[in-house]
Structure 1
């Protein structure tokens, strides 16, 4: 599991609703085929932040929000190659510029091809 955050570095409020759009990229920046599902069902249990209902989050300048992702490194079929992705591509809201985040440790999906995504949540400091 990982949490990713966005800080409003602008001078006006920034509104986030629901879930970000998310995709993964490999070490050559090529897209990784992955099914992104809302919540953690079918991947793991005990991740309340991923399974909560989405809400509207309004960020004043300097405020932050986050969302969580969860995956399982599971190999169920030895004939299917395992997949790891060191880059997460995020579109915070529809029409916003896409952000590329290079991770310290890759998202290692095994060969499940599934990623769970949580909704935006305000970051309490």
Structure 2
């Protein structure tokens, strides 16, 4: 009896174990994960086709750069070492007072004393007949620029002296053509070379024919 029960127990356990194993073997396995699909490459926006620009058959030439203008050469110093320069002027009721400068452009001192010798030429460089005197009389009353007493003036290189001319632009006789001086010639001192200066403003004497000269002043 005991043996039969043991056999049944063993057989029953084996059957139960087999059923458990069968049940375990019949269990459905999990579905495999889906493989990732192919990744699409980003789409490129098509570039519009551009036709190449044809070359210009008549290109505009590029102007070459203009070279810098050379600086004007310094004016040479005249013979004698001084230069005559036109100065400023003043006109009141037909009375003219004009200043002129003498510049020492040489390398030595230049000494002046007294009055310059003056004469006038017209536009054709013809000498004019003019009564030239020292001071303002008889043209007008006293004018300091032309009536000052003469003095000795010593000019170092680069220094300047001045002198003044006085006249009146007046027509007293319509039958006499007016006189205009366009070139001033000055001898600064006795024995010195004569200097010529073409004027931008004429010495317009009318038909008075008189010119007053002042002394050299520093």
| Structure 1 and Structure 2 fold alike (TM over 0.5) | yes
What SS does structure 2 have at the residue aligned with 1:49? helix
Deviates more, 1:53-62 or 1:73-82: 73-82
Inter-partner Cα distance in structure 1 for 2:184 and 2:140: 20
Give the match for residue 16 of structure 1. 112
Give the match for residue 98 of structure 1. 194
Shift of 1:56: 0.8
Q: Larger RCO: Structure 1 or Structure 2 (Cα < 8 Å, ≥ 6 residues apart)? A: 1
Residues 73-116 of structure 1: CA distance to partner in whole angstroms, max 9, x if unpaired? 11112222210111110001111111111111110001111001
What SS does structure 2 have at the residue aligned with 1:105? strand
Unaligned runs of 5+ in 1: none
Give the match for residue 145 of structure 2. 49
TM-score (norm 1): 0.93
Give the match for residue 136 of structure 2. 40
**Would you identify which runs of 4 or more consecutive aligned residues in structure 1 move more than 4 Å?**
none
What SS does structure 1 have at the residue aligned with 2:100? strand
Give the match for residue 162 of structure 2. 66
Q: Say how many residue pairs are matched.
A: 122
Shift of 1:11: 1.2
Higher helix share: 2
Give the match for residue 210 of structure 2. 114
Matched, 1:89 2:185: yes
Unaligned runs of 5+ in 2: 1-96
Inter-partner Cα distance in structure 2 for 1:93 and 1:46: 25
Inter-partner Cα distance in structure 2 for 1:12 and 1:101: 23
Inter-partner Cα distance in structure 1 for 2:115 and 2:142: 19
Inter-partner Cα distance in structure 2 for 1:68 and 1:44: 14
